[in-house]
Every structure is written in C-alpha cells, then in structure tokens.
Amino acid sequence: MEQEKSKVAFVSVLAAIFLTTFKLIVGFVTGSLGILSEALHSGLDLVAAIITLFAVKMTIKPSDTDQHNGHGKIENFSALLETMLLLVTCVWIIYESVHRIVRTLEDFIEYF
C-alpha cells in the first residue's frame, strides 16, 4: 500500500511538470493573463505534488526513538505549506490583474 502511494505521488509530480510547462509556453506565446495564472496554478500544484511526495515518503517510515507515533504529523505540516503557497499565488494574480487594469486605464486616458 505504501509503495502504491509513493508511485501515485510520483506520477502526480510528472503530470504537474508537463501541465505547468505546457501552460507556461502557451501563456507566454499568447500573453494571456488567464493562461499565465493557470500556469502559476499548475506550478503551485507541482510544488504541492512535490511536498506530498515528500510527506508520503516520510509517513511511510516506521516509528523510531524520535517519533514514537510515527511520522504522520508531516502531512499536517505539508498541508499548511500548500495553503501558504496558494495564498501567495492568489496575491500575485490579484496584483498582476490590478496592475494590468491600471495600465489599460492609463493608456485609455492617454488616448483621449
């Protein structure tokens, strides 16, 4: 069972690498903020998948003298890290959106 969890987490990392790369390429070629934000979201998924892979590998370890109840608490910590990364991503998307709106309004005002 533990080996299967590791394998699924690893495949998740590979899928996230592919999606992030593809979306970044399309986003930069088209200049679309929507696609770039999706690429950033996929990048976040990639980081989350890497954290999950690490957490799965850690929780598989049996109890030892330092961790009498096993290493299961690492999952809670990894969830906290993933939440913080999502917050940072949201803030960047909002910042970039506002920046583009302001720049568009400035161009519009300048035109008239």
- pLDDT at position 77: 82
- pLDDT at position 73: 73
Q: In the chain, how many domains are there?
A: 1
Domain of 39, in residue numbers? 2-111
- Per-residue 3-state assignment (H helix, E strand, C coil) for the chain: CHHHHHHHHHHHHHHHHHHHHHHHHHHHHHCCHHHHHHHHHHHHHHHHHHHHHHHHHHHHCCCCCCCCCCCCCHHHHHHHHHHHHHHHHHHHHHHHHHHHHHHHHHHHHHHC
pTM to 2 decimals? 0.65
Is residue 65 over pLDDT 70?
A: no
pLDDT tens column, 96-105: 889 999 999 9
